[in-house]
Amino acid sequence: MSDFTISTRPAEQNQSHISPICSPFSPGVPIEAHQPIFGREEVFRFIAAELLRFKSVNLIGERRIGKTSLLNHLLGNQDQHFQPSIHQLPLILVRLDLQDNISKAEQFYGKALRGLLEALPAQSVLQNKSLQSWLEPLQSLPEVTATEFENALKGLKDVGARPVLLIDEFERVFENHLKARFPFPDFFDGLRAQISASRIAMVLFTRQSLVRYFTQHSLTSTFPNYFLPLKITELDKEAADELLLRQPSDHPLTTEQARQARSWAGFHPCRLQCAGAAWYQANSEGKSAQWAKERYKEIVEPLGLINPSYLPVTSAKGLSYRLRQPRYWFPLSTVIGLGTLAWFHKIHWLTATLTWCKDNPLPAALAVLVVLIIVGKVNGEQAIKAALDKFLGEGKEGKK
């Protein structure tokens, strides 16, 4: 698109002069807005393109894949990613975390509205008296009804704001102990109505797709249709190497150390951060590669992110992991393929042999006799003598 630009090398921005005296890696915790993030350029381009059109997005990813890190980076680097054209109003981005003491719809609306009002330029709030009247009460009690939230969004639209909610852990609204407090369908229909009226856009960060959550809980609604999904995957090799090698450090990893780190961690960003932290400590203390590997396991195990390739094939997780990997399937499929080819070849050979024996009974009988003599099932001398006697006897009878 022509109405926004994005840097493809965020790690290079204002980083070259920094010489940290501590590890640049963040094992087990989301990276902060000022820290470099690697391999997510396509994700940022996708989000920017949709939000600049004021459309909503569902970012899907397993735990610790980096969803919160993406959220932090978007909030802290808005000028880098969102550059609306002269015909577009600026976006107002606000973070909302459903783990942050939000246990019912009224708290959801209240905290969202408070965040939006606080993010607005002061003159915009002063232009609308109704918005101004909301701000002080929400500081003490961030709770409003769905109707009050709708009215406030109408006021935001009047002052030319385009509010965007970045909502982390949105799947909590489907948890059994909270479902009644986010009533279906009212809660979802209300949000859908605000989205369809272009009063708000949202980026929902979830572990599974919205469609799957609605299906699992037997909820029928068009709400998920308003969110364009995008799955966040593991990094590629280039991004993994950048994470391990390109971050400024007083004890940087070597290329060989990065290769070993990838062999332990794969391409999962959190596991790579753990591997990098282990190597940083090993380098700073003069420890061996084996020590770094054991240290990596110590760091990653409490996070529940042990690389499944470490698990024995006899365990359910280890077997499941290997069956999903193409590199394990290739040798197995090759063996199966060759075995199948050999089996069909054997059948073809057997069929051809039987046909030849039927058409050539005497040579076939002689061939069988030779085989029996060779394997010791028939005495060779007796067999030859019997054959000669039969042949000579038939010859004498013919002369008579």
pLDDT of 305: 80
Listed range (152-156, 189-193, 242-246) with the worst mean pLDDT: 152-156
Q: What are phi and psi of 117, to 5 degrees?
A: -65, -40
Calpha distance 56→46 (Å, rounded): 11
Q: Across 82-86, 190-194, 301-305, which has the greatest mean pLDDT?
A: 190-194
β-partners of residue 163 are 92
Q: What 3-state DSSP class applies to 276?
A: helix
Sole residue written with tokens 């042999």: 353
pLDDT of 321: 55
Cα angle at 125 between 123 and 126, to 5 degrees?
60
Calpha distance 148→154 (Å, rounded): 10
Domain borders along the chain are: 40-231, 237-323, 360-400
pLDDT of 11: 44
Task: Read off the pLDDT band of 159 (50, 70, 90).
Answer: confident
Arithmetic mean of pLDDT, 203-224 = 96
Report the chain's mean pLDDT, rounded to a whole number. 83
pLDDT of 236: 95
Calpha distance 248→242 (Å, rounded): 11
How much of the chain exceeds pLDDT 70, in percent?
Answer: 72
**pLDDT, tens digit, for every residue of 316-326?**
655 665 565 55
Q: CA 91 → CA 58, 88, 148, 200, distances in Å?
A: 18, 9, 22, 10
Count of Cβ atoms closer than 10 Å to residue 356 Cβ: 12
Q: What is the DSSP code string of 82-97?
A: ----TTSPPEEEEEEE
Residues with Cβ within 8 Å of residue 369, at least 6 apart in sequence:
378, 383
For residue 43, pLDDT beyond 50:
yes
Arithmetic mean of pLDDT, 91-102 = 93
Q: Considering the domain 40-231 in this protein, what is its CATH number?
A: 3.40.50.300
Arithmetic mean of pLDDT, 44-63 = 95
Q: Which of 161, 152, 150 shows the shortest CA–CA distance to 197?
A: 150
358 vs 313, residue with greater confidence: 358
Q: Which of 326, 328, 278 shows the shortest CA–CA distance to 303?
A: 278
For residue 366, pLDDT beyond 80:
no
**Which helix (H) or strand (E) element contains residue 42?**
helix 41-52
Q: Which of 318, 224, 311, 235 shows the shortest CA–CA distance to 275?
A: 235
Q: Is the dihedral of CA 108, 78, 14, 271 positive or negative?
A: positive
Q: Across 257-261, 307-311, 327-331, 332-336, which has the greatest mean pLDDT?
A: 257-261
Arithmetic mean of pLDDT, 165-186 = 95
For residue 229, pLDDT beyond 70:
yes
For residue 352, pLDDT beyond 70:
no
- Two tokens at 148? 């009050």
Sole residue written with tokens 């109704």: 130
Arithmetic mean of pLDDT, 372-391 = 63
- Two tokens at 272? 């790579």
pTM here is 0.72
**pLDDT, tens digit, for every residue of 287-301?**
999 999 999 999 999
Calpha distance 375→398 (Å, rounded): 35
Listed range (116-130, 152-166, 201-215) with the worst mean pLDDT: 116-130
pLDDT of 18: 46
Which segments of the chain are extended strands (E)?
56-60, 91-97, 162-168, 201-206, 227-231
How much of the chain exceeds pLDDT 90, in percent?
Answer: 60
Q: What 3-state DSSP class applies to 297?
A: helix
pLDDT of 82: 87
- Two tokens at 222? 């068009």
| Side-chain-side CA neighbours of residue 333 (13 Å) | 7
pLDDT of 10: 44
